[in-house]
Amino acid sequence: MFVDAHAHLDDPILAPREEEVVAAAMDAGVGVIVNASSDLPSSEASVALASRHDRVYAVIGVHPHEAKTYTEQVEKRLVALSAEKKVVAFGEIGLDYHYDLSPREDQKSVLEREIAVADELKLPVVFHVREAYEDFNAIIERNKAKLTRGVLLHCYGGSAELAKYYSDKFDAYFSFGGVLTFAKHKDLVLNAISNDRLLLETDCPYMTPVPFRGTPNEPKHIPLVAAKMAELKGLSRDKIEEITTENALRFYSIKL
């Protein structure tokens, strides 16, 4: 069984086909899907998805793109949602300076607040970081004492050196998706990470792996990511399936 550790089934591209997408994933051997959120409406949607499907779990939080929407009322509702039994983490939160869809100062202040909320809720944290590693690192260093429930760098795009830093300082986990099938030098990054900290994800409907680039991504494509990770790590696909599933279930505290 595979785990898709980071999906967006509630995205408008996939939501109309929800039942079909989940069924196709299960048919492909993807036995668990963790649905991440980007704002309050998607957090509500993730919890609702998890309630409709036995093997779908929810991650709630506000993405850096939507930091400008974060309010005290949003935070209170996220705290209330966290009581739902299939909420397994807080995220995806972080910094994204590529698009700057929210002001950077808002992103930084909201990130610090969300780290504090996750700590209060005793939830692991799923981070999104793009072109903002210097500010991100400064924030997590300041808040290291609040990051003891688990740290996941989703769709990890940093260097091997940074991976070692996050591993040593935060005992971090790292998830990888379709980018493995078309980006260069990912073997260097993968080999800097301990096998017991690797996860698979799709980030669907984005980051579609080769040979399906140009079409919406789905959890059913996880075996393609696994095969590429196996090639880059010099392991069998079965071994990648075993270790990434074990890691994902451990990180999210999912008991089947």
The pLDDT value given to residue 177: 98
Distance, CA of 76 to CA of 81 (rounded, Å) = 9
The pLDDT value given to residue 102: 98
Q: What is the pLDDT of residues 213-235, one digit of tens each?
A: 999 999 999 999 999 999 999 99
The pLDDT value given to residue 36: 98
2-7, strands of its sheet edge to edge: 2-7, 30-35, 56-60, 87-96, 125-130, 151-153, 173-176, 198-200
Where residue 46 falls among pLDDT bands split at 50, 70, 90? very high
Where residue 48 falls among pLDDT bands split at 50, 70, 90? very high
The pLDDT value given to residue 215: 98
The pLDDT value given to residue 42: 98
DSSP string for residues in 184-242? SSHHHHHTTS-GGGEEE---TTSSPPTTSTTS---GGGHHHHHHHHHHHHT--HHHHHH
Distance, CA of 68 to CA of 110 (rounded, Å) = 9
Kindly report whether the peptide bond that precedes residue 20 is cis, defined as omega within 30 degrees of 0.
no
Q: What is the pLDDT of residues 176-212, one digit of tens each?
A: 999 999 999 899 999 999 999 999 999 999 999 999 9
Which residues does residue 93 pair with via DSSP β-bridges, in sequence order? Answer: 127
Q: CA angle at residue 35 from 189 to 1, to 5 degrees? A: 70
What is the model's pTM? 0.98
The pLDDT value given to residue 1: 98
Q: CA angle at residue 181 from 175 to 46, to 5 degrees? A: 40
What is the SS3 assignment for 41?
Answer: helix
Amino acid, res. 42: S
Kindly report whether the peptide bond that precedes residue 205 is cis, defined as omega within 30 degrees of 0.
yes
pLDDT above 70: percentage of residues in the chain = 100
Token pair in block for residue 88 = 């397994």
Task: Considering only CA atoms, give the Rg of the chain.
Answer: 17
Closest to 101 measured CA to CA, from 128, 133, 138: 128
Q: At what angle do helices 104-121 and 72-81 cross, to 10 degrees?
A: 30
What is the SS3 assignment for 71?
Answer: coil
What is the SS3 assignment for 147?
Answer: coil
Q: What is the pLDDT of residues 67-118, one digit of tens each?
A: 999 999 999 999 999 999 999 999 999 999 999 999 999 999 999 999 999 9
Segment 121-150 shows an average pLDDT of 98
Domain 2-251 CATH class label: alpha beta
Contacts of 150 (CB under 8 A, 6+ apart): 89, 124, 125, 173, 251
